[in-house]
Amino acid sequence: MGSKQRVTIALDRQIVEEIDQLSKEQKESRSHIIEEAIKLWRKRQLEKELIKGYLAMSKENSETAEANLMAGEEVLG
């Protein structure tokens, strides 16, 4: 990503406490913990979109295969 930009956000106190705990355990900054969480969230969003796309393609492929099967039966029948 390269350069960093400082931002100010408001978070629930509980979340901040969890971030601080992770920060201590992993010996990383708050910023690093939050950045990694956002990267993971983005990755999961992409995975959800890919799954949705693959399911749609699967349905389309199934319908195409069914149509081809019926056409083949007509030719052979």
Torsion of CA 51, 53, 55, 59, to 10 degrees: -170
- Round to whole Å and give the CA distance between 34 and 41: 10
Domain definitions of the chain by residue range: 13-76
Which helix (H) or strand (E) covers residue 11, if one does? none
Which pLDDT score, from 0 to 100, does residue 77 have? 63
- Ordered mean pLDDT values, 10 residues apiece, the chain (77 residues): 88 97 97 96 91 80 73 69
pTM over 0.95: no
